[in-house]
Structure 1
Amino acid sequence: MEFVLNDEQQALRDMLRTFVAKEVRPKAGEWDASAEFPRETVAKLGELGLLGAMVPEEYGGSGMDTVSYAVAVEEISKGDGSLGLTVASHNSLCTAHILGAGSEAVKRKYLPGLASGKALGAWGLTEPGSGSDSLAMRTKAEWKKDRWVINGSKMFITQGNVAGVYVVLAVTDRAKGKDGITAFVFPSGTKGLSVGKTLHKLGMRSSDTAELVFEDLEVGPDAVVGQVNSGFRDTMKNLAGGRISIAALSVGIGLGAMSEALAYSKERTQFGQAVSEFQAIQWMFADMGTELEAAELMTFQAAWLKDAGRPYTREAAMAKLFASEAAMRATIKAVQVFGGYGYTQEYPAERYMRDAKLCEIGEGTSEVQRIIIARDLIRGH
């Protein structure tokens, strides 16, 4: 068992560290303050192949393994959590759903544009009245003559305003419960699709988040992703993989905050010595470093299991749970290291802390992860 990255993965990490240092970290604070979606930087990530990370080369992607993808999300997130979230949601939700469940025709129609970054992807499951309880969704699709007609709304949709491709879940047979939900894909500009409102958030402020509204939106039978009524099952598979990316996002945010705090603690002097010389501060770093190292290992283990074709749902949930909560603890400690300056926007510690909170909520709350983990442990005992 090896605990080191291979040469290609290390080269990817080195390349992204250089990119983040030049293109991301100097601009992240400005993006956060203005809540501006960084289109130019996202486009550059597309040119680097990061928006088609795990899409096979035959569809225009980079064909990365999951461990390499986790490395990429982590490195980007060290510089800016919002940008890391954009990459993670684009790859792990919309694009992954099409790749995992779509017909060959659907893949060839949408994956090349998504992989190149010419079109960003958005994925709609959550609704105003249903978050963790996804089976309570009210968005419905009715078959009329030769078309599906979709009505309803989705909430908290990443890339809602800026996407070129949307994958949306809708009820097609309410009597069948989870076996009566279907996924549909359609491009931006489809008649009947509109953005309800743009959401202003505590953190991840330069990641675009919006409400989607569907009013008699019509699509043909070729817009179905997977099979009619298979959408929920496909979604559960998709979310398991997505949790690996959120774990990597969490690790990146935590490590980014720790790095900023370490640098500050060496420069800041109190009582005639650097703050880093005080044992109370050293213990904070010891806790941060230990927890984030463990979180990274858990993330890579889940990614490795996925690549090996082994069961990984529990491990992905564990990684997402532990990494997100470790990131939250680490960013709080980072703010503490900065003292009064940590509570201001003059330094990035508070931004990392605000960004970290999303990781405990998005793609399944910590409470949902605990349910998944406990049920799997009980079932397997």
Structure 2
Amino acid sequence: MSSWPEPDRMFEEPLRVLRENSVSLDDAGNWPSESLDVLGEAGVLGWVVPREYGGSEYSGAQLVEGYLQLSRACLPTTFVLTQRNAACQRFALSENESLKADLLPQLVGAGRFATVGISHLTTSRQHLSKPTVSVSIEGTQLVLDGMVPWVTGAGQADWVLTGGTCADGAQVLVALPMDAEGITVMPAQDLLALDSSRTASIRLESVSLDTAMLVAGPINEVMQTGGRGGTGSLGTSALALGAASQSLDRLAGEAVDRPELGEILDPLTVERDDVVRDLLAAAGEMAESQLPELTNESLRQRSNSLVLRAAQAYLAASKGAGFTASHAASRAVRESMFFLVWSCPQAVIEANLREFAGMTDGPSC
């Protein structure tokens, strides 16, 4: 019996719309505005917003289930959603009550968009002698200078959760209003996949903000505050499994007229169900478990491995047609590669590399 969660009947129509819209989202010219509108109408945009601000305040297990369903329907839209949710979750964790009361009710629907620009605070960039983004505090004003890399939907955002480093090494997080003076959104990067996410850098030139926009800090290692999450999180694994499931769905379609593909499809599906079962357990009743197969890193390694192999199996089954740029198999392979670089902990990268090298007996996460 499959461990894949069944969607609520009321959720079937939004998923159908996402599947239809997904076809157009392999194009940098298209932003998933229609899909985000549909998610807003379905209440999805309030999943991570506390009830007191109009949201539904989903549990970790509910959120993982939702990400599984959404990414199986449309990975680009779901990825954009995770960046929006990451900002909302940080806003909700803030001790700045007036900021939360202002922003969070506006982010329950699709009318306003928030995203994150925090990779420079969570990677090796933060160890550079000159911070990527420097912050000076002058009375009630924060002044930011620098370049914020890898901001999904930078040009569509009303606010960006970002931050920088003060002269004494302390860091801050702020809700950056994108209409503030001194902000320039750079041209979006040309990516291997997910171009519709319109991921770009933001240049900050003496951007002055009132401390009312402060989300957290000043404090050392500000990204280590505020509870669980970060690289290797369960939500990222859920998106990989959703993308893998989409490839397996399409492989199943090929198998209808070619039953010999069943010997490939069946073990991949069993593996998918095993990882999904463990993921849901880790997000729910086994959240405090110390079992090695339920760690964030182990689940991410297994999810990465599966999404890569499922996409390549679909490509191989599609033969020459699948190698054309417009074919769904070509897109599936490109999108699967994203999980090798998106919020991928070093231990998972090393495990993936060992698998590529055929070192199956080596250490794993």
TM superposition score category, shorter chain reference: 0.7 to 0.9
CA distance, structure 1, for counterparts of residue 28 and residue 71 of structure 2: 19
Matches within 5 A, 1:271-290: 274-275=257-258, 277-278=259-260, 281-290=261-270
Cα distance in structure 1, aligned partners of 2:290 and 2:96: 24
**Cα distance in 1, alignment partners of residues 348 and 3 from structure 2:** 31
Label 1:131 to 1:145 Cα distance change in 2 as closer, same or farther (>3 A). Answer: closer
Which residue in the other structure is 2:359 paired with? none
Shift of the 141–346 alpha-carbon distance from structure 1 to 2, 3 Å rule, reads closer
1:164–1:238 distance in 2 versus 1, CA, 3 Å: farther
Structure 1 residues 70 and 52: CA distance shift in structure 2, 3 A: same
CA contact (8 A) 1:59 1:111 kept: yes
Q: Following the alignment from structure 1 to structure 2, what is the Cα–Cα distance between the partners of residues 110 and 367?
A: 36
1:22-80, Cα deviation, whole Å (9 max, x unpaired) = x1222322221454102122112112121121212211112211212112111111122
Q: For the residues of structure 2 that align with 1:223 and 1:312, how far apart are their CA atoms?
A: 41
Whether the 8 Å contact between 2:118 and 2:163 is mirrored in structure 1 is: yes
Q: Deviations over 1:215-234 (max 9, x none)?
A: 10111222221231152322
Q: Partner residue of 1:264?
A: 254
Q: Which of 299, 305, 329 is the aligned partner of 2:279?
A: 299
**Structure 1 letter corresponding to 2:309:** R
Equivalent residue number for residue 169 of structure 1: 163
Q: Deviations over 1:123-181 (max 9, x none)?
A: 11224xx873142342111112431100011112112111111111201245x4xxx22
Q: Which residue of 2 aligns with 1:232?
A: 223
SS in 1 for 2:25: helix
Letter in 2 for 1:351: R
Report the CA distance shift for 1:310/1:221 in structure 2 as closer, same or farther (over 3 A).
farther
Give deviations 1:318-349, integer Å, cap 9, x for gaps: 22232122111111111111111221245312
Q: Determine the C-alpha separation between the residues in 2 that align with 1:312 and 1:164.
A: 41
Distance 1:312 1:150 in 2: 43
Question: 1:284: how far off?
Answer: 2.0
In structure 2, relative to structure 1, the CA distance for the partners of 1:312 and 1:48 (3 Å cut) is farther
SS for the counterpart of 1:186 is strand
2:15 to 13, 16, 20: 20
**In the alignment, which residue of structure 1 is the partner of 2:63?**
69
8 Å CA contact 1:51, 1:114 repeated in 2: yes
Q: Which residue of 2 aligns with 1:377?
A: none
CA distance in 2, matches of 1:312, 1:157: 35
The amino acid across from 1:54 in the alignment is V
Separation of aligned partners in 1, 2:338 and 2:116 = 17
Which letter maps to 2:313?
K
Post-superposition CA distance 1:7-28 (Å, at most 9, x none): xx7453x43343222x122232
Q: 3-state SS of the aligned residue for 1:72? A: helix
TM-score between both structures, scaled by the size of structure 2 = 0.85
Letter matched to residue 73 of structure 1: Y
Q: Distance in 2 between matches of 1:190 and 1:200?
A: 26
Query: Aligned pair 1:123/2:155, yes or no?
Result: no
| In the alignment, structure 1 residue 204 sits paired with structure 2 residue 199 | no
Percent of aligned pairs sharing the same letter: 17
Quote the residue 1:96 is aligned against: 89
Of 184, 202, 206, which aligns to 1:194? 184
Q: Deviations over 1:267-317 (max 9, x none)?
A: xxxxxxx32x22xx23321332133222212321232169x6788997223
TM superposition score normalised by structure 1: 0.82
Q: What number of residue pairs does the alignment pair up?
A: 345
Query: SS at the partner of 1:36?
Result: coil
Aligned to 2:50: 56
Q: Return 5+ residue gaps in structure 1 as ranges.
A: 267-273, 372-381
The code of the aligned residue for 2:73 comes to G
| Corresponding position of 1:322 | 302
| Greater share of residues in helix | 1
Equivalent in the alignment of 2:213? 223
Gaps of 5+ in 2: 352-365
Name which of 341, 354, 358 aligns with 2:334: 354
SS in 2 for 1:166: strand
Task: Give, as a single letter, the amino acid of the residue that structure 2 aligns with 1:112.
Answer: P
2:313 corresponds in structure 1 to 333
CA 1:96–1:317 in structure 2 vs 1: closer, same or farther (change >3 Å)? farther
- Going from structure 1 to structure 2, the CA distance change for 1:40 and 1:336 (only over 3 Å counts) comes to same
The amino acid that maps onto 2:21 is K
Amino acid in the other structure paired with 2:241: V
1:238 to 1:104, Cα distance in 2 relative to 1, 3 A: farther
Report the CA distance shift for 1:217/1:255 in structure 2 as closer, same or farther (over 3 A): same
